[in-house]
Structure 1
């Protein structure tokens, strides 16, 4: 029986140094029916010339401008045919046998649409990495966190999450996705540009009847913060804006009418806290994000309209409480501590 076809697609923007460092590990992936593609998002460094000269075996797609993460992948994947896509950041080191366990899991059931490996920190390989850790979750109010990462606190990997499990979202740093599902759901929401677009897509996948998994038998190492470091004003803006848009798109009306105003209030509290701490840029980014969200409500492209919406706490990978309260007030720093208080959805 032949292996399903897999295309590893790396979206690059001015990342020559990462390609030079990490592309050899990707090329060493032990999987026969594999193609490796770099989609260049109109880099201004010499990434394209470097790839052509150094890695001629890698397929190269050159996009006409920097479309951002969301549209960049949408444009690239229109030109790539495979049973499965691997969306892989350029700053990820993979292990030789990382791919087969994930593909085998997705092949076991047609309703399994996406999966991520265990993501460990490249600079400290015994700890989980911020972007996805061992599988993404949401709380009841739309705050993202992960098995092994609560806000900025990353846990040490002691094997505590070494079970394959349904999750809410798979990280865009290393997401393996069934191509049929990707195109059926129209890919990423291009309005997002970057940040939280993978959470939105995974939410839409669940609403369409698919499941999302983490497969910790597969391990990769992520540098993180390569394009926009955490704390950057643009990243703050995109995260806060896109989170609100995601809630407005996917929550049922029974929840969105009160959860969105509640989240706007919590965001403003966070902004004021930043201002009092002397971080005016953080404050301005959140205020700008809220105005941009209001603009989206009036003028945004609402091409995706779920045929059905489901109560958030009835979905896989959702904590039915308030993550902000649990972490910042009750001082809970680990995934196990957060989930210990209340029964979680399954």
Structure 2
């Protein structure tokens, strides 16, 4: 099986300098590529000088995560792609369990390893943790992280299991699967595009797995209150995009409830004087309404599958029933 690790870069020389050495050291089984999103720093020159064996794919524009990978992967030959953030530290033998899972189970299409926090290595990382799920209203959550509650890694998720979505921070996918799904939706630019792709994969009958025997450490990740307003905008907008395109059943009832919940989130930002985040939610909804016609057209063209959600409302479970950790949800999950 031919494996290609592809790191998307935009003005990330410092991160490449920090993390490329461990990737090279512990990834002998794979070909290593950097897909450069039209950087204006000296990232590419740095790579050519210090890591000449790293292959470079030069994208013409910075199209974000979605278009950046769509454009780059067209030029890479492999059976499996590993889409790896530039702020990931890998560990010895991290690829072996992943490769074994792909080889042993031909129906496994997408895989995520265990993702721990680079700055607090005893704990899971916000973006992906131990594999993701989604509730009826399109709110994502993870084993090991629900909203801002992040678990310590005590070996509770050392298993291999089916999940609903895999984190884009370290995302393995068969090339045939990626191509059959036409890659990422480029209208997303960044954020939520991997959940959309995994949802489309689920609806098409593909299986996404979490492999806990493989571990990486991720620098990124933040609570909602700490992130940039642009991320708030993209997360809220792209979440609405995703549920409109992919959710099974009566869509407008789900969207109506979702709009109410988003309104409550907006009021929370307003009460805490986080006006830029409040405006970001308004902007996200305006963009959603502007794109409804296109999204409904996509919805009609895409297959749908029942039982996509793990719980009716993770918001209710977390904020009302005080179920802050995944293991407290196990007895009430529906998926």
Scaled by the length of structure 2, the TM-score of the pair is 0.95
SS state of the match for residue 28, structure 1?
A: helix
Distance 1:130 1:268 in 2: 24
| Contact 2:245–2:298 (CA under 8 A) maintained in structure 1 | no
Q: Say whether 1:163 aligns with 2:159.
A: yes
Please list every run of 5 or more consecutive structure 1 residues that lacks an aligned counterpart in the other structure. none
Q: Say whether 1:344 aligns with 2:331.
A: no
CA shift, 1:31, in A, is 4.0
Distance 2:208 2:288 in 1: 27
Distance 2:27 2:221 in 1: 27
Distance 2:172 2:106 in 1: 14
Distance 2:103 2:179 in 1: 18
Q: Counterpart in 1 of 2:213?
A: 217
1:183-203 CA-to-partner distances (Å, cap 9, x unmatched) read 010000000100000000001
Distance 2:171 2:26 in 1: 15
Please list every run of 5 or more consecutive structure 2 residues that lacks an aligned counterpart in the other structure. none
Q: Say whether 1:323 aligns with 2:317.
A: no
CA shift, 1:229, in A, is 9.9
Q: Counterpart in 2 of 1:74?
A: 70
| Contact 2:244–2:296 (CA under 8 A) maintained in structure 1 | no
* Correspondent of 1:121 among 102, 117, 123: 117
SS state of the match for residue 154, structure 2?
A: coil
Q: Counterpart in 1 of 2:58?
A: 62
Count of aligned pairs between the two proteins: 334
1:83-105 CA-to-partner distances (Å, cap 9, x unmatched) read 00000000000012001211211
Q: Say whether 1:273 aligns with 2:263.
A: no
| Contact 1:10–1:39 (CA under 8 A) maintained in structure 2 | yes
* Correspondent of 2:176 among 177, 180, 183: 180
1:110-164 CA-to-partner distances (Å, cap 9, x unmatched) read 2210000000000111100001000011112211010000012211000111111
| Contact 1:111–1:209 (CA under 8 A) maintained in structure 2 | no
The structure-2 alpha-carbon separation of the partners of 1:305 and 1:118, relative to structure 1 and needing over 3 Å to count, comes to: farther
Q: Which range moves more in the overlay, 327-336 or 121-130?
A: 327-336
Scaled by the length of structure 1, the TM-score of the pair is 0.93
> What's the C-alpha RMSD, in Å, of the aligned pairs?
1.8
* Correspondent of 1:93 among 72, 75, 89: 89
Q: Counterpart in 1 of 2:129?
A: 133
CA shift, 1:298, in A, is 2.8
CA shift, 1:43, in A, is 1.3
Q: Say whether 1:28 aligns with 2:18.
A: no
